[in-house]
């Protein structure tokens, strides 16, 4: 048995070599998607030419001894192709790979669409490189990423694509606003907008003053720790603890300031909070 096995392997290899010898079709070493090329043939008479690809198939009559012209539209999809010439009951074939053409477009995924300022590694950009026939370009390419908000310093980085994908993580800037996140490759540019928003309020301060109706409470302009005005609509909670009990009101910020009129007649201690951030406390006296 140990002697028979190498002999069987040798016989199989010989048969494979003989079969390959029959496939005498020749194709260029590199075929790019959407590019024309020729396949030389030998012999005479007519034959049927088949080209089977990942997304197409072609069948036509050819003349043996002449070159077979493969048209650009017949090899638009990248992948493995099989070319077969059938003549007089004999098949000659060759399989070859069509590679993606030059980069023509980028699919750019940017996440998230909103992010607080000064977040480390919070922005993710992923690009997929495609040629003009929507084939993934797997050859390495340099993709430039640039993140910039109006009036702020831009941040940029170059990433080499691997298997058609280039991705990176970036920090959000310190300035709130709509940041342009641009991916560029050989003049191809794709832009996404990342809304950089103010972070949690910092040093929340209020002042209170009694008037005829009650107590007017107002925050100082509410800003985050980077100095950005906190978004309008952000809820600020005023709490007044007085003789009549506890009074609370949730008020949205308008033009950087939250304001409320608390109808409390007696003296009270008023505090402020926004989300999980607490502010200062003020005391107001009772009505005269």
Residues found near another protein in the complex (CB under 8 A):
107-114, 128, 192-193, 197-198, 200-201, 231-237, 244-252, 254, 260-264, 274-277
Give 20's Cβ-side CA count (13 Å radius).
7
Q: Tell me whether strands 188-197 and 114-116 are parallel, antiparallel or unpaired.
A: parallel
Q: How far is the CB of 46 from another protein (least distance, A)?
A: 45
**Cβ-based burial of 239 (10 A; exposed 0-12, middle 13-18, buried ≥19):** middle
Contact 179, 154 (CB under 8 A): no
- Any bridge partners for residue 224, and if so which? 201
Q: How far is the CB of 172 from another protein (least distance, A)?
A: 13
Q: How far is the CB of 154 from another protein (least distance, A)?
A: 19
Closer residue to another protein in complex, CB, 25/208: 208
**Cβ-based burial of 116 (10 A; exposed 0-12, middle 13-18, buried ≥19):** middle
Other Cβ atoms less than 10 A from the Cβ of 157: the count is 13
Closer residue to another protein in complex, CB, 209/250: 250
Closer residue to another protein in complex, CB, 28/266: 266
Closer residue to another protein in complex, CB, 59/254: 254
Q: How far is the CB of 43 from another protein (least distance, A)?
A: 47
Q: How far is the CB of 139 from another protein (least distance, A)?
A: 20
Closer residue to another protein in complex, CB, 129/282: 129
257: DSSP letter: B
Helical segments of the chain, H only: 4-22
């Amino acid at each position: 048995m140990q002697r028979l096995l190498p002999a069987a392997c040798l016989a199989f290899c010989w048969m494979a070599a003989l079969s390959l010898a029959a496939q005498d079709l020749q194709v260029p070493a590199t075929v790019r998607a959407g590019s024309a090329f020729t396949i030389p043939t030998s012999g005479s008479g007519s034959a049927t030419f088949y080209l089977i690809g990942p997304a197409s198939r072609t069948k036509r009559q050819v003349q043996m001894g002449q070159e077979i012209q493969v048209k650009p539209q017949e090899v638009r999809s990248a992948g493995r192709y099989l070319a077969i010439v059938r003549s007089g009951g004999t098949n000659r074939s060759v399989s070859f790979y069509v590679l993606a053409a030059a980069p023509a477009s980028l699919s750019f995924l940017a996440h998230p669409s909103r992010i607080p300022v000064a977040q480390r590694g919070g922005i993710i950009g992923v690009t997929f490189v495609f040629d003009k026939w929507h084939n993934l370009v797997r050859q390495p390419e340099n993709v430039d990423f640039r993140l910039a908000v109006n009036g702020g310093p831009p941040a940029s980085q170059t990433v080499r694509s691997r298997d058609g994908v280039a991705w990176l993580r970036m920090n959000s800037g310190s300035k709130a606003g709509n940041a342009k996140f641009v991916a560029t490759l050989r003049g191809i540019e794709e832009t996404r907008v990342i809304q950089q928003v103010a972070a949690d309020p910092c040093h929340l301060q209020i002042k209170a003053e009694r008037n005829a109706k009650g107590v007017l409470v107002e925050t100082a302009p509410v800003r985050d720790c980077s100095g950005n005005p906190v978004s309008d609509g952000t809820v600020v909670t005023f709490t007044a603890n007085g003789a009549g009990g506890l009074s609370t009101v949730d008020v949205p910020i308008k033009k950087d300031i939250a304001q409320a009129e608390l109808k409390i007649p007696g003296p009270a201690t008023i505090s402020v909070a926004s989300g999980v951030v607490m502010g200062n406390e003020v005391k107001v006296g009772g009505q005269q």
